Each structure stands twice: as C-alpha cells, then as structure tokens.
C-alpha cells in the first residue's frame, strides 16, 4: 500500500513540473545575474530548468547556480568584441560619453551587434543543437528582448510559450502593441521626467530617433543571420507580439507611471538578495566615524578608468567631510592614484570588492553614491538608503530620475564631476536632507508589504503560460494596424481632403453667387433705365 501511495504522490507533484529553457547570453554581469535569478527561482518552484548559456565572454559567471541542466555554446571567434571594446580605456570612457550623441549611440549598437551576430551564428550552426532543443519539447522559452537571438530561436524549437524579459525597464514596448507618446510620456532615452516646454518635447522626439537608430543598428544584422541560415524566419517583432507574457525588471513603486498592458508583469527587485550581517572588518569600518558613505559606479564604468581630474575632484570633495568615512569601490588599490593620493586622505577607504547589499542594509550607512544601474536602484529602494545618483549611460539616466521622482535620491550630472565644490554641495545636501531618508524608509516598507512578491509573480505567470500558451485576448488589436492606420493618417487625409473639397466648392459657389448677383444687378439697372 505504501508504494502505490508514494507513486501517486510523485505523479501528483510531477504533473505540475514544467520543462523550461532559459537562454543566458554572457555579455554583461547585470543581465547574467538577472537571468540566472529567474532560472534559480523556477528551480526552487519545482520546475525542470535548462540553462542555455552562450559563452559570449567566458570570463563572466554563469548567473544560475541551480539549473538542473546546462547547455554551453562555446564562444565564437571575436564574440567578446563588445566587452573588449567597452572595457578598454582607449576606446571608451563612459564618464565622458555624451547622453544624446547620435554617433556614439549607433557606434555602441554596432559593437553590440558584432558580438551578438558572431555568437548567435555560432549557436545556430552548432551541429545538432537546434534539433536537440526541438526534441526536448520545452513548455516555455525565457529570453531577453535585448539580445534577440533567443527570440529567433523560439521560432526554430517551437516552445508552447515564448516569454521575453527585460533586465531593466521595458526597453522597446512597441512589438507588444504598447506605444508611448513622444510628447506626453516620460522619455526612456532622457531622464524620464515629463517635459512641457516646446524645446524639451522636440528634444524628446530627437532622442526617439536616436533610440530607433540604436535598435535598428543592433537588431537588423541579427535578423539577417536568421534569414540566411533559416529562410522564412518571422521578424523579431512578429515573434515578440505573440509572446505569452512579458517580464520587466521594474517596480511601479519606484518608477514613473506609464501606460502598460495586462501581459507586462513587473518583477523588479527579484534579484535583490537577502542581506547578511557584516563581518568584523566591515562592521569596524562603519564604526570609524559618525557617518559612512558608500561609493560605487558598477562593473562597466570602472572608477579606475575615470579621468584623473574626476578622481581628484571626488577625492577632494570626500576629504572635506572629515567626520564621514567614504568607502569607494576602486578596481586597483595599488595604482598610483591609490598609493600616492588616496593614502593621504584618512577618511577614504578603497576596496576592489565590497559586500554592497550588506552594507546598504546596515543602519549606520548614511548615503550611497552610485551610477543608477537597475540592480543598484532596486537594492537602494529595498534597503531604504538615500542616494546621490550619477547616471553614466543607458537606462541609468531614467532609473536615477525615477528614484528622484519618488523622493529617495538626488541626480548629479556626470559632467560636473570635475568640480569638487559641486560634489561637496550635493553630498552635504543629501546628508542634511531628512525628508529623503524618511521617503526611503517609507518606500522600503511599501516594497516589503506588497500583496505579492516578484518571485510569486514570476512563478505563477510562467506556470500559466506553460499550461495555456499565449492568449489571443492579451494581444492588442493595434498590432494588426499599419503605421498609417495606427496614427490615423488615413483618417486625417480623408478629413483634410473633405475640408479641401468643401473649401473649393465654397469658393466656386461664392464666386457663382457673385456672378449671379452681378447679373441681377445689371438687369435691375437696365430696367430702371
């Protein structure tokens, strides 16, 4: 009797276990960690998860620690082109790159595209891989909507449901039938704020063209790879439009209110780990002075590659707060700047690594100076720490503005980093701003009290998609419209044509009336004579 009961129990559990493929291209740590967290959360929920890891840069971690099966795609020759380009000082200084440069945006997209195309071609031409993935009959394929190789792969292996995700805000919502107004919605490419002046709205439209150029430069070559290897592959936009659900790494409580769709599910904060108590070393550092400030600009815009004038200005500003300890993430603590300059300033501590999440959770931390990356912003909001955000590139501009919008951060222009007096003033304002701290605590408590957690929303929506596939009712009807129809240009043309015809007819009618009136007048004059 016991054996049949155990068999029944096993069967009951197994019917709820779905076969899920998570595509993880290794090109940026924040993206990798986010995708890995999704995979591990689904494993914890009892599902069979296969991680398809594309080794674009084999020096980066896998992201996932729990996936039952890992399929690796070895790096194609030159696939690390993007990271090699961005990580060298001679080719790019993120702190000096213009936000609104058309040429810089297109150049960045080009370098992304080179790596994406090389590695995607490597995956698609790996003998037997596509056939193997198709035989495995996955219920769900989860892939980023930034690097489109996984989106194209969904057409080749035919999972029951495609689930695209964004490791930041929803980067390009248009394939899902969601369109933001160019003049009345927060701009993704700018700082997210609503701009009411004529100039600012014109600038928003200009940035929209930059944004489209970036996407086309990055995506069109990859689409051609699929057309070459698998003729007849639908466009990425078409495949995305049929997705079952879309996950975005955002949270409405710390973002701007935007139009959205039922199929767009926010799971912001899912990658925020549970903080641990600090060890003796780090606890001792926070106890050195009455206030402590954490400084970190992420993994891409490295402090060590910062221009000497910026490093000197930061150091001078930090030194002007002798009662405050500044813990600065600096990637080479033995270079000349660290040995000759920082060593003279007693209240500045450099660290090549720090337990950031644990430091943020400690009540002794007064302020966090950061670049505004999405992962850091979620850690900030969950920890309840006021922040001075210096966005460097990409979505960081919008992320920083969103936290400032809810009152837990102040945005500092990266081009002002050469002015130590401006840095000092901004730090002083944040340290003395009690309302910012109270707002941060309020947001932290709100996030902790949400009706559902990001993990719950992830798991339940994935299970729903795995069971039912895409729902026609969640696909906006505007996807069936052409651009002319969607914008109503045909209606406008009809209305303008009718107005024009009416105006012409009115003109000739009035002219006819004048002629008739003239004839009548002449006849009256003749009768009088």
Distance of CA 376 to the CA centre of its chain: 12
- Given its phi and psi angles, is residue 488 left (phi above 0), alpha (psi -120 to 50 degrees) or beta? left
- Among all chains, which residue has been given the structure tokens 């998860």? 49
Contacts of 322 (CB under 8 A, 6+ apart): 346, 347
Query: In this structure, what is the dihedral angle of CA atoms 176, 473, 259, 31, given to the nearest 10 degrees?
Result: -40
CA 432, 438, 441, 447 torsion: positive or negative?
A: negative
The C-alpha torsion from 137 through 142 and 144 to 150, rounded to 10°, is 0
Helix (H, G, I), strand (E, B) or coil at 318: helix
* Number of neighbouring beta carbons within 10 Å of residue 470: 18
CA neighbor of 62 nearest in space, from 109, 22, 105: 22
pLDDT at residue 207, rounded to an integer: 79
Cα(297)–Cα(302) distance, integer angstroms: 7
Residues 331, 304, 25, 447: is their CA dihedral positive or negative?
positive
Closest to 56 (Cα-Cα) out of 33, 31, 71, 77: 77
For the chain, the first-to-last Cα distance in angstroms comes to 127
d(CA 502, CA 369): 63
Sign of the CA dihedral with 435 first, then 273, 167, and 449 last: negative
Cα distance between residue 370 and residue 342, in whole Å: 19
**Structure confidence at residue 83 (pLDDT):** 59
The topology under which CATH files domain 13-271+454-480 is Rossmann fold (3.40.50)
CATH for 280-448, among 3.40.50.1220, 3.40.50.2000, 3.90.1010.10, 3.30.1490.20?
3.40.50.2000
Return the structure tokens found at 176. 């899902």
Residues of the chain with pLDDT under 70: 1-15, 81-93, 99-100, 182-196, 528-529
| CA–CA distance, 362 with 460 (Å, rounded to integer) | 33
Token pair recorded at residue 298: 């992420």
Residue tagged 């291209």 (tokens): 25
Nearest residue to 329 (alpha-carbon basis) of 291, 362, 369, 364: 369
Summarize pLDDT for 1-32 with one digit per residue, the tens.
444 444 444 444 444 799 999 999 998 888 99
Q: Give the tokens for residue 113.
A: 């595209």
Ordered DSSP codes for 341-402 = IGGG-TTEEEES---HHHHHHSTTEEEEEE---HHHHHHHHHHT--EEE---STTHHHHHHH
Q: Residue 211 to residues 172, 393, 475: CA-CA distances in angstroms?
A: 9, 13, 24
**Number of other CB atoms surrounding residue 241 within 10 Å:** 18
Q: Which residues pair with 101 in a beta bridge?
A: none
Beta strand ranges found along 217-347 (DSSP E): 246-248, 264-266, 291-296, 324-329
Residue 446 vs residues 254, 259, 362, 367, 442: alpha-carbon distances, Å = 10, 22, 19, 20, 6
User: Which pLDDT does position 139 carry in this prediction?
Assistant: 98
Between CA 57 and CA 388 the distance in angstroms is 32
Interatomic CA distance for residues 28 and 32, integer angstroms:
6
Give the predicted TM-score (pTM) of the model: 0.87
**309-343 b/e with 16+ CB inside 10 Å = b?**
ebbebbbbbbbebeebbbbbbbbeeeeebbeebbe
The two three-digit tokens of residue 212, written as one number: 């489209």
pLDDT on residue 94: 75
Question: With left for phi above 0 and alpha for psi between -120 and 50, is residue 251 left, alpha or beta?
Answer: beta
> What residues pair up with 165 in beta bridges, in sequence order?
144, 247
Round to whole Å and give the CA distance between 30 and 210: 24
For the record, the structure tokens of 138 come out as 């996955």
- Cβ(373)–Cβ(356) below 8 Å: no
251/151 Cα distance (integer angstroms): 24
| Closest alpha carbon to 388 in 293, 303, 288, 273 | 293
């Amino acid at each position: 009797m016991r054996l049949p009961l155990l068999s029944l129990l096993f069967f009951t559990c197994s019917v709820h276990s779905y076969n899920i493929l998570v595509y993880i291209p290794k090109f940026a740590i924040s993206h990798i960690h986010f995708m890995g967290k999704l995979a591990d959360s689904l494993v914890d929920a009892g599902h069979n998860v296969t991680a398809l890891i594309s080794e674009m840069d084999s020096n980066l971690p896998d992201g996932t620690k729990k996936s039952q099966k890992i399929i690796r795609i070895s790096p194609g020759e030159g696939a690390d082109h993007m990271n090699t380009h961005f990580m060298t000082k001679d080719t790019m200084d993120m702190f000096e790159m213009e936000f609104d440069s058309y040429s810089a945006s297109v150049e960045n997209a080009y370098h992304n595209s080179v790596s994406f195309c090389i590695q995607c071609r490597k995956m698609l031409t790996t003998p037997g891989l596509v056939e193997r993935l198709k035989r495995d009959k996955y219920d769900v394929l989860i892939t980023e909507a930034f690097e489109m190789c996984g989106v194209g792969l969904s057409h080749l292996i035919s999972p029951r449901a495609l689930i695209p995700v964004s490791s930041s805000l929803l980067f390009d919502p248009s394939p899902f039938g969601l369109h933001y107004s160019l003049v009345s919605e927060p701009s993704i490419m700018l700082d997210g704020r609503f701009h009411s002046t004529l100039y600012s709205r014109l600038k928003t439209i200009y940035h929209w063209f930059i944004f489209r150029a970036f996407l086309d430069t990055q995506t069109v070559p990859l689409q051609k790879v699929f057309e070459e290897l698998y003729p007849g592959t639908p466009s990425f936009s078409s495949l995305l439009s049929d997705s079952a659900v879309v996950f975005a790494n955002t949270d409405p409580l710390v973002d701007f209110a935007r139009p959205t769709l039922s199929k767009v599910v926010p799971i912001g904060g899912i990658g925020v780990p549970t903080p641990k108590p600090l060890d003796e070393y780090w606890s001792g550092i926070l106890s050195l002075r009455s206030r402590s400030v954490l400084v970190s600009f992420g993994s891409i815009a490295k402090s060590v590659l910062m221009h000497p004038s910026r490093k000197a200005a930061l150091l001078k500003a930090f030194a002007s707060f002798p009662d405050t300890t500044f813990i600065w993430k600096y990637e080479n603590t033995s270079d000349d700047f660290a040995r000759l300059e920082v060593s003279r300033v007693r209240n500045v501590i450099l660290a090549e690594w720090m337990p950031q999440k644990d430091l943020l959770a400690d009540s002794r931390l007064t302020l966090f100076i950061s670049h505004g990356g999405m992962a850091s912003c979620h850690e900030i909001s969950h920890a309840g720490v006021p922040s001075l955000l210096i966005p460097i590139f990409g979505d960081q501009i919008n992320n920083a503005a969103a936290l400032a919008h809810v009152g837990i951060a102040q945005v500092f222009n990266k081009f002002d980093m050469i002015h130590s007096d401006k840095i000092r003033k901004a730090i002083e304002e944040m340290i003395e701003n009690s309302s910012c701290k109270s707002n941060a605590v309020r947001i932290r408590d709100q996030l902790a009290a949400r009706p559902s957690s990001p993990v719950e929303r992830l798991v339940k929506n994935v299970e729903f998609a795995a069971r039912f596939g895409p729902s026609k009712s969640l696909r906006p009807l505007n996807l069936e419209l052409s651009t002319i129809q969607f914008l109503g240009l045909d209606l406008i043309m009809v209305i303008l044509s009718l107005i024009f015809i009416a105006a012409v007819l009115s003109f000739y009618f009035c002219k006819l009336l004048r002629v008739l009136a003239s004839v009548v007048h002449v006849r009256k004059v003749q009768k009088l004579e």
